[in-house]
């Protein structure tokens, strides 16, 4: 199975716990919405290999995240799947993010690397496959405020300007230092 073949996505390497703590600000909201997205090539073929392909795929994904106004927090490309961790605005739905990332990377990679049109199969029949990626994907949301913290915040809302929270598995040196902003000012 893939778990034994490849090193798995390691959030600690990208300091994800610290990155998801940041509250982002837009014109009318303060938000912290983070998605962990995983998608695979058709038939889970191990075709995402080679430094040039990985570099181009990283460039395309980075550009698409900028277009979607998402913060690319982490990206790992394995031979048979891609892990992306993004911070998104409330207006960006996971479906839209995944749809744009998969559609654009599929078109551009198959334009540059002819062999990807045929998913690495030796015999090239017809015009190739219509897409590089399998139909499905995984999307998990990652937040930082515990249910107890939200409950306490609601109960203590009168007169309390700022409340503190700890990130799940937060590094010890950051515990108690992270605060959610003043929404009453």
What are the tens digits of pLDDT across the range 26-79? Answer: 888 888 888 889 999 998 889 999 999 999 999 999 999 999 999 998 888 989
The domain limits of the chain are: 11-144, 145-179
Mean pLDDT across the stretch 144-163? 51
Three-state secondary structure readout of the chain: CHHHHCCCCCHHHHCHHHHCCCCEECCCCEECEEEEEEECEHHHCCCCCCHHHHHHHHHHHHHHHHHCCCEEEEEEEECCEEEEEEEECCCCCHHHHHHHHHHHHHHHHHHHCHHHHHCCCCCCCCCCCCCCECCCCEEEEECCCCHHHHHHHHHCCCCCCCEECCCCCCCHHHCCCCEECCCCC
Superfamily of segment(s) 11-144: Transposase IS200-like (3.30.70.1290)
Question: What pLDDT, in 10s, does the model give residues 92-111?
Answer: 999 999 999 999 999 999 89
State pTM to two decimals.
0.69
Structure confidence by residue, pLDDT tens digits, 77-87: 989 999 998 98
What is the residue whose two structure tokens read 């798995």? Answer: 8
* Residue 175: half-sphere exposure toward Cβ, Cα within 13 Å: 6
Angle (CA) 67-69-73 rounded to 5° is: 110
């Amino acid at each position: 199975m893939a778990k034994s073949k490849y090193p798995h996505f390691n959030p600690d390497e990208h300091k994800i716990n610290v990155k998801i703590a940041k509250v982002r600000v837009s014109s009318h909201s303060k938000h912290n919405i983070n998605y962990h997205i995983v998608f695979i090539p058709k038939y889970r073929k191990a075709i995402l290999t080679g430094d040039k392909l990985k570099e181009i795929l990283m460039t395309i994904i980075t550009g698409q995240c900028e277009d979607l106004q998402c913060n690319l927090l982490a990206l790992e490309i394995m031979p048979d799947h891609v892990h992306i961790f993004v911070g998104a605005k409330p207006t960006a739905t996971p479906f839209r993010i995944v749809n744009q990332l998969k559609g654009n990377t599929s078109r551009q990679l198959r334009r540059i690397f002819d062999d990807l049109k045929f998913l690495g199969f030796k015999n090239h029949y017809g015009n190739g496959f219509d897409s590089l990626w399998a139909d499905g994907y995984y999307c998990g949301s990652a937040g930082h405020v515990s249910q107890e913290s939200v409950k306490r915040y609601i109960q203590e809302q009168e007169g309390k300007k700022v409340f503190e929270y700890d990130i799940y598995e937060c590094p010890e040196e950051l515990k108690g230092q992270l605060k959610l902003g003043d929404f009453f000012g």
